Every structure is written in structure tokens, then in C-alpha cells.
A and B are shown apart, each in its own frame.
Chain A
Amino acid sequence: MTGTSTGTRLQVFSMPDVGEGLTEAEVLGWRVAVGDSVTVNQILVEIETAKAAVELPSPFAGRVHALLVEPGVTVEVGTPIISVDTDPGAGDLTDSAPAAASSETATAPATGSTDGEGSGTTTNGEGAKIGEVTADGRIATLVGYVSAGASTARRPRRGNGRPADVAAAAPQHSVVHPAPASAAVPADHAPLATPPVRKLAKDLGVDLAAVTATRQDGVISRADVENSVAAKGSTASPGRGRAYDPATREHRVPVKGIRKATAAAMVASAFSAPHVTEFLTVDVTPMMELRDRLRRRPEFADLKIGPLVFAARAVCLAARRTPEINSVYEVGPEPGADVIVVKQYVNLGIAAATPRGLVVPVIQDADRLDLAGLAAALRDLAATAREGHTSPAQMSGGTFTITNVGVFGVDTGTPIINPGEAAILALGSVKDAPWVVDGELAVRKVCQLSLSFDHRVVDGQQGSQFLADVGALLADPGLAIAF
């Protein structure tokens, strides 16, 4: 509120906003002179506002000390215009500064909320003052003032002021009910989680009801869901959500979880890497004979060794000679920044069919494992996958994948490279087949290998060489001593 100040002898009256949207006014003429005695409400001055003259009455009684604005001068609202000595009988005034024209202890008028006309039809013509901003930032309306609006600096809050501190940061007009304080969520309550965590659980096929929350308030976090996948596994079944419609004789299966992830991976791979597939048919009779001999050795006592173990070992050995097969093409952030990352370690992914779908658990540093080590790793990996407990960590970081289509009795195929890798080997079933040995027909154990590779990374020569090496090792395992 402009205008007056209290508490000191020398009082200053500043140009008020007289309700017509003044930002400024012209002093037309003084009705008093320096030294005049004035009473409260005596007219001091006439000011011009919106083409009408308004007389300003004195808020003080006393003696006029100084006229601070010349007639004809236009000043902003809030500018001191006159000072009055309110106790003229008390001797000379010292040269103290007049009391500042600050806000009253009493409060400013309310904003715009008062009274008056229902339908304001007063116009102010040209040079309209309604709607203009006054010196102290208020905007005049017909019946009051709109306050200046938000201050530009925030009032400091207590504590660390983080909005996450629930109660203190409650929205002004409501009381937020935070999640229940106790860790134990009542049995009949739905699980507590945010939408992103719910989505994660759905994608991973996790039932939130089976997840244990680590948070005090029982709210399930992302980590809780991931740990649950590792520890407990999901109870999702492929039949969940399958709705059979007898009218169309169709099942409509929503694409979710692993199916969705698999589909996405296949598309990403198939339509970014130019796939070439080469085939090699191998007589693995010596490998099978070796397998029979190895089985009887103590280190293979509890291990199952089959063509897949040998293939895994062969791949690791062959990769030494053709390291390009164990790499990946990385598209750079801008054109011309693409790189091929050649890895000096082999993380061997083994494609596995599980109740939940296709999963590719990875044997980390497979090239450092010997045959028994690989066999053990394969065994563990298979067991975990079968139970559906393979964790996301266990499926990450692969550099090469083997897909054992042979277990289904299938000869060969054109496998799709696992995204993040440059090649994949499909291992067919080992079958008796006619073969030429020393120029004569014989019945041998034969299997087909097919290698798909990313032709951005691997040329035909490299792919062929790798495939030939793998085949050679499977055909004549003794060659491994030369790798």
C-alpha cells in the first residue's frame, strides 16, 4: 500500500494509486504552500488522472515541510510528493531523512475481491488506466487491484527442501496420503509399485504378488523385480492371456515378455546385419568315438558330453585363428564413425528352449574353459534355463552363439545372428549317413554345421576358414593339439 508512513515526526505522503489504474499522475497544482498548517483530509494537491482531476486529502495534520514535486511534473505512483511536520511545535527539525514511504504496519487492501458493481461498464476511454501496472506492481481493475503476481525469488524452505520429503512438500490444496508406513502390506492388498516397475515386471513375466519389497513402505522397486527373476523365477505361462474364440477358431496371444523380446531381437538383427550362411557337412565319427573314451575318465564322471560340448570347444579354438568371427559391428553416433569391435575373449551363448521361450544364456570366458569346464558350464546353464531362472546378467555380454538344432533331430538351418555379435553356428543332429571313406561307401556319423555371419564384419574367406576349422576339429579332434 502506498502513500503514508507512521511513527516519525516528519511524514511523507507518496503518490497513491487512486483506483483508476494509475501508474503515474501529473501534479496539477498545490493547494498548500510550505509552512502552511494543514489538517487531516485537507486537500493538498490536485492531480490529473485519466483526464479528470482528483483531489488528494492530507493523511496528516501539521505543517507543510516541503513540496517535493513541481506542478506540471508527472511522477510515478509511490513517489513522495509532500512532507509534513506532524509536530511543528516541538522545535526545529533535525536534518534527518524523512520516514521512508514504506508499507504500513496495517496491511494492504485485498486484491480485487471487494465489492462494487456487478457489471462494470465504466470505460476509461483512450489512455485507459484499467489494466495498467502500478508502481508497486499491482494491476488496477474497476474494483480493486490484481496483485503483482509471483515474486521472482523463492522463499526458503526448512530442511533440505527436497520435494521427495513427502508431507512438507504436500501440494497446497490437499494432504497427500503417502504409501503405508509399515513394510507388511495386508494380504488382501494389491502389490505396490510405480508404473515403470509394473511394466518391467510384465515384460519379464514376473508376478508382483510373488515379489518381496525391500523398501520399508512395501513399495516394490526395479531391483526387487530383477532379483526376483534371478531368485524365484516367474510363474508366467505361455498360455496366460491366451483367449480362444470358438467363433473364429483362433487363439489370440498377446505378445509380451520373452516372446516380445525375442521378436524384437530377431528383427533388429535380421534387418541390420547382412546375413550370409555357409554349410559344412562333417563326418564326426572320430568325435563320437572320442566321446565314448572320455566318458570313462574321472574328470567327466558326472558330466554329460555330447556334440554340443565339442562344438563349443571347437568354436573357441577356431576363433583364435579367425578372430573377426568373434566381434561385432557397432554403428557410430554419426556417419563415418562406425567401428568393428574385435573381442579377445569368447563369451559363448548357447541358445536354449525353455518353458518361457527362447533364452540364450552365456558362458563367460568360454575360451578359458577346457572341455570338462565347458561341459560343466553347459550343464549348469541348461538346468537354470530349464527352470526359467536365467537372470538378465546371465544372458548378457555374449560374443558368439551356438544353436543346437540337432537336439530336435534337425539337420541344419539358417540361424539369425544374436544382436551384439557377428556370427552364429547351428549344430545339426548327428546321424548315420552314407559317406565315402578311402574311396569306399561306408556308414558314418555325420552332422551338418551352418554358420551365419555378418558380412559387414566377416568376409566369405574368413567365414569359410572358420567354418572349415570348426568342421575339421569335429571331424578329427586330435587336430586341437595343433590349434
Chain B
Amino acid sequence: MAGPPVQPSDPYLPTTAGEAAARGAAGLRGRPTPSEVIAGLRATSHGEDLIQLLSPEGTLTPNDDFPIEVTVDLLRGLYRDMVLVRRFDREGNALQRQGQLSIWVPLLGQEAAQIGAGRAMRPADMAFPSYREHGVAWCRGVDPTQLLGIFRGTDQCGWDPKATRFNSYTIVIGNQVLNATGYAMGQRFDGVIGSAPGSEDAVTSDEATIAFFGDGATSQGDVHEGMVFAAAFDAPIVFYCQNNQWAISEPVAKQSRVPLWERSTGYGFPGVRVDGNDVLACLAVTRWALEECRSGNGPVMIEAFTYRMDAHTTSDDPTRYRMAAEEEHWKLLDPIQRVKVHLSRQGLADQDFFEQVAGEADELAARFRAHCIGMPKPPPERIFANVYTEPHHQLEQQLAGHLEYLAGFAEQDGGR
């Protein structure tokens, strides 16, 4: 289909729908052409099939839309990532059952969706998680022990979000999607997207943002508004929805009549559904999506179709609302198992490798556990720390008053 002629950007002139879609991308350095964009919308909006490269049985089938060079190192690295992440996730669960954490948010089953996306990011890209993306944290260089404070109640974010380019966890469902959109708008205003293809800038300085949220979050107004703003401002943001089928006890059918990836079309940008348990597919598709954004073609939505193998949190009891048979079904689609099978069958890794990874996982778990058990309660001053960036006389007085009150107890540090 031949597209309409490109016109200079004027948001207030009447336009056709196609021209509007074209203008979004064409406004930036004139590439790609409108017809390419529209063709792209069609091409990447998959209907019946998920994008899948590695089947549950471990068979690798390339996909021309999402080419990816699959090396031994890449596969072994992804395997190791997922094993270690699962290991400390399980340790977190155990620690809660042993009374060391108030709560733990398990990612069991979603390792591929998170590692795939996390490893697709470049250092300069920015991630906005919800509160379950321990796998993405892992990829951004956040040590697992830094996640513990939130669940132990000693802090609300144990890492530097600015330095790691991994935002703090956001508990209010959907809030982070808007914040991510704003950050991506800032990337666009800064001009760090859309460099000439193949240029040094394109490789070194172009950036994108990726926002993580679940199937339940797609009902929240903030997610809708995030997509509205991202489309209005051509923000370089990947909306990465991990559809793990359940929002606590509510199945995804309660959240939407249509498959979630289709929603993006309503806002005027492409959506893709990927097998969320296939780490290679997640990696390939997310790389493509981030590249689209970096080159100025954003936003893009990805629905990673996966399953929440454990409860919503350690306070939840899934036996109340779902069938064990469903969990059994998804066990057969395990993300780590299929990579292990592929590595074995293709002769890309031997038993020594698997044992070495397992050993590394045990060490990580032990370190995670020891760190957790040793975490002290913060001092009272911590309540007042960093509420504001600038001096605040009222809080200073309040802290002083509280310390004076504490000093008035006969036994210092007693009774607490």
C-alpha cells in the first residue's frame, strides 16, 4: 500500500489516520517510510501463534522476523542466569516460611520472560519494574541481597535506581508505567533516539525504556494513560506485559476480552505476543522492540505469555482458586528445562557444566540466606532520613523531639 505523502509536522492540521501513524515515525529523521511502518504494524501483530524459537522439548526453530545469533555462550549464559535467579527466588520463599521475611514475591516460572527481557537491554536503557522482576534486577547488576530489605522491612529500595538504570519496585499497580513513559519522553527530548542507522551514536548513545507490568495492571488507568502519552509523544518505550495468567485470584479473562497484545493497536502502535517461557524468543523480540524504540519507531508492546507457578506472594493460597492440573500442565513448559535439554542434546554443555551451575546456585543461596538473617533493624533516625532533598525544619524538630523522648527512657535500647 502506497502511503500518503509526508507532510511537515503540525499537530493541529486535519489528518487521516494513516498520516497520523506515519507522521509519528516520519517526524524523526524521515525513516522509515509510512508504508514500512504500517507494514510493520501488520507484520508484528501475531494472532494465533506466539513467537517461539525454543520449544518446550528443546527444539530450536529460527524466526525470520526476529533473527538472533544463538551461540553456545549465549545459551549457557541464559541457562545460568535462570538457574541462579530461580535458586535465590526459592531461597526467598523458604526464608519467609522460616520467619526471616514478612513476605516474599516469587517469580517462579517467569525466569525466561525476565531474563530474556533483561539481557536484551543495553546499559543505557532504563527499566521500570513492578515488584516481581528479580530476574531483570539480576540482569541490571542489582545483587539479590539488595532485594531483601523490602521484604524484610528494613528499607523500601535496596539499590541505586539511577546507577543501575533499574527503578525501585513500585507497589501501586500500574504507577510505574506512567513514570516509565515520562522517562522515555525525556529520552526523546534529549535526542538520544533515532540516530542514523549504523552510526556510532546509534550503537553507543541511543537509549530506550522498558516498563514491566502484569496482566492485572492492564486494567489500571495508569497503564492506559501511559500508552496514550507514549503514543502522543512517540516515546521510546517498550510496554512489557508479563501475562502470568493470574492477578492474585483473578484470571486474565476477567481483565480483558481480547488478548492483551492486541490492546496496543488501539493506541496506534504494534504489539507482539511471545512465548514467555522461551528465553530466546523473549530475548529476540525484546531486542527488536528496544531497537525499534531506539531508532524512533516506538512505542511497542510485548506480551510475554507465561505462568505464575507459585502463589501471588507467600501470603496467598492458590489452592483456593485454581486447579492443580493447570500447574501440572505448565510444569511441562518449564523455561529452564527446555534450555537444559537443548544444551544437552546439542552437545553444548555437559554434566560438569550443569553441576557447576548448580553449585554456584547453592553458594548464592547460602550467601542470600546469611545476609538476610544478619540484617539489623535500622536506627530511629532512619524514619526521618531523606524525606526531602532540601532542609526541612519541621522534620528536624520532630526528629529531635523523638530522640529526646527516647533518651528519656531509663534503659537505653531496652524493651525494643
Contact = CB atoms under 8 A, between A and B. Distances in A.
B317 interface: yes
A54 interface: yes
B153 A110 contact: yes
Interface string B373-416: 11111000000000000000000011011101101111100110
A122 to B, nearest CB: 5
A106 B376 contact: yes
Interface stretch (B16-24, B43-51, B95-103, B181-189): B95-103
A117 B172 contact: no
A174 interface: yes
Nearest to A118: B173
A3 interface: yes
A125 B320 CA distance: 9
Interface stretch (B52-60, B63-71, B307-315, B337-345): B307-315
Given A41-B90, A174-B398, A3 B98 contact: yes
A57 B98 contact: yes
Contacts of A152: none
A397 interface: no
A290 interface: no
Name B's interface SS. loop
Interface string B313-347: 11111011000000000000000000000000000
Contact of A52 (B90, B105, B312, B320): B320
Q: Of residues A17, A115, A142, which shows the largest number of chain B Cβ atoms within 10 Å of its Cβ?
A: A115
Contact of B415 (A120, A155, A173): A155
B229 interface: no
Q: Of residues A119, A123, A151, A155, which shows the largest number of chain B Cβ atoms within 10 Å of its Cβ?
A: A155
Nearest to B93: A57
Given A2-B99, A158-B408, A122 B249 contact: yes
Contacts of B105: 115-116
A174 B397 contact: yes
For chain B, the bracket of interface size reads 35 or more
Q: Of residues B98, B320, B404, which shows the largest number of chain A Cβ atoms within 10 Å of its Cβ?
A: B98
A1 interface: yes
B393 to A, nearest CB: 11
Contacts of B131: 115-116
B409 A1 contact: no
Given A123-B320, A170-B405, A56 B411 contact: no
Contacts, number: 168
Contact of B152 (A110, A170, A171): A110
A178 interface: no
Interface in A144-202: 144-145, 151, 155-159, 167-175
A118 B170 CA distance: 10
Given A122-B315, A125-B320, A144 B97 contact: no
Given A52-B320, A122-B317, A168 B103 contact: no
Interface in A226-277: none
Contacts of B75: none
Contacts of A18: 96-97, 314
A124 interface: yes
B99 A50 contact: no
Interface in B346-372: 365-366, 369, 372
Name A's interface SS. loop
B97 A57 contact: yes
B97 A56 contact: yes
A4 B98 contact: yes
A18 B103 CA distance: 9
Given A115-B105, A155-B414, A107 B401 contact: no
B376 A142 contact: no
B169 interface: yes
Contact of A144 (B103, B169, B401): B103
Interface string A119-145: 111111100000000000000001111
Interface of B: 90-91, 94, 96-103, 105, 131, 150-154, 169, 171-173, 248-250, 312-317, 319-320, 365-366, 369, 372-377, 397-398, 400-402, 404-405, 407-411, 414-415
9 closest cross-chain pairs (CB), A and B? A110-B153, A109-B102, A3-B99, A107-B377, A19-B315, A57-B94, A175-B401, A156-B410, A16-B99
24 contacts: A2-B99, A3-B99, A3-B100, A4-B99, A16-B97, A16-B98, A18-B314, A19-B103, A109-B101, A110-B153, A113-B153, A117-B248, A120-B248, A121-B250, A122-B248, A122-B249, A122-B320, A142-B315, A143-B315, A158-B409, A168-B405, A168-B408, A173-B398, A174-B401
Given A16-B98, A174-B401, 14 more contacts: A18-B97, A19-B315, A56-B98, A109-B99, A109-B103, A110-B153, A114-B103, A122-B317, A143-B102, A155-B410, A155-B411, A156-B410, A158-B409, A175-B400
